[in-house]
C-alpha cells in the first residue's frame, strides 16, 4: 500500500532564515524526488511542456495574471510534464518557495526568476550542460557528462549540488567568475 506524502510548505519566516546554499539543496532534493516519481520528465529543447499521450498540447500553465498562490497550487498538482534543467529548477523553486515575484507563470518557468539565479548562480551553466552547449565559449563539458541521458544529467547535477552543500562543482571547474 502506498501512502501519499504531504508537501510541507515552509513559512516565510523559515525561508528568510535559509542561506542560498540551503535553498539550493532543498530545490535539488525536490528535483530528485520529482524525477524519481516521473512528475518531471527531462527533455531538451523545452523549458516546460505538458502533452497528452498522443503528443497533442495539453496546457502551458496558469494564466499570466494568476496570483503566486494559484501558480504554486498548479505546480503542486502537476502529475507529469517535460522540462529542461532551468524548467526543473523553476518548478521546484515555485513548489518549495512560491517564488514568482509577481511575474507571470511562463516568464517564471522559462528560468527568468531573479531569486532563482541568486540561489543557483550556475543555472545557465546547468542548462548548457543539460542541452550539450559550450557555455559562453569558456567551458566544454567532459565527454563523460555529454554522453549521459537527459535524466542522468539532471540526476547528476542535482546530486552534485546536494553533495557540495548547495554549489554545482564541475569536473575541472574552470568556469571563470561563476561559483
**Read out DSSP for 15-79?**
HHHS-HHHHHHHHHHHHHHHHHTTSEEE-TT-SEEEE-TTS-EEE--S-TT--HHHHHHHHHH--
Does the structure show a pLDDT above 70 at 110?
no
Distance between CA atoms of residues 138 and 79, nearest Å: 37
Mean pLDDT throughout 109-133?
A: 78
What letter would DSSP give residue 133? Answer: -
pLDDT band for 41, please (50, 70, 90 cuts).
confident
| Residues 4, 77 contacting (CB under 8 angstroms) | no
- Of residues 171 and 62, more confidently modeled: 171
Does the structure show a pLDDT above 80 at 118?
yes
Does the structure show a pLDDT above 80 at 175?
no
CA geometry: angle 61, 63, 65, nearest 5 deg: 140
Give the per-residue pLDDT at 165: 93
Q: What is the pTM (predicted TM-score) of this model?
A: 0.79
Give the per-residue pLDDT at 55: 57
- Of residues 154 and 132, more confidently modeled: 154
Does the structure show a pLDDT above 50 at 2?
no
Distance between CA atoms of residues 116 and 133, nearest Å: 21
Does the structure show a pLDDT above 50 at 176?
no
Distance between CA atoms of residues 179 and 174, nearest Å: 10
Give the per-residue pLDDT at 109: 60
- Average pLDDT over the chain reads 76
Question: In 3-state terms, the chain is what percent helix, strand and coil (to 5)?
Answer: 45, 10, 45
Amino acid at each position: 500500500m502506498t501512502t501519499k506524502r504531504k508537501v510541507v510548505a515552509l513559512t516565510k519566516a523559515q525561508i528568510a532564515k535559509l542561506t542560498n546554499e540551503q535553498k539550493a539543496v532543498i530545490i535539488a532534493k525536490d528535483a530528485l524526488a520529482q524525477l524519481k516519481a516521473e512528475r518531471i520528465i527531462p527533455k531538451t529543447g523545452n523549458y516546460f511542456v505538458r502533452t497528452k499521450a498522443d503528443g497533442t498540447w495539453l496546457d502551458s500553465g496558469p494564466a499570466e495574471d494568476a496570483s503566486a498562490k494559484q501558480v504554486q497550487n498548479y505546480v503542486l498538482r502537476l502529475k507529469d510534464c517535460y522540462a529542461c534543467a532551468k524548467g526543473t529548477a523553476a518548478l521546484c523553486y515555485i513548489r518549495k518557495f512560491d517564488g514568482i515575484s509577481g511575474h507571470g507563470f511562463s516568464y517564471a518557468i522559462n528560468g527568468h526568476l531573479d531569486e532563482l539565479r541568486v540561489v543557483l548562480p550556475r543555472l545557465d551553466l546547468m542548462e548548457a550542460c543539460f542541452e550539450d552547449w559550450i557555455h559562453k565559449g569558456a567551458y566544454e563539458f567532459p565527454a563523460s557528462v555529454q554522453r549521459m541521458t537527459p535524466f542522468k544529467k539532471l540526476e547528476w547535477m542535482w546530486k552534485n549540488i546536494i553533495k557540495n552543500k548547495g554549489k554545482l562543482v564541475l569536473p575541472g571547474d574552470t568556469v571563470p567568475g561563476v561559483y
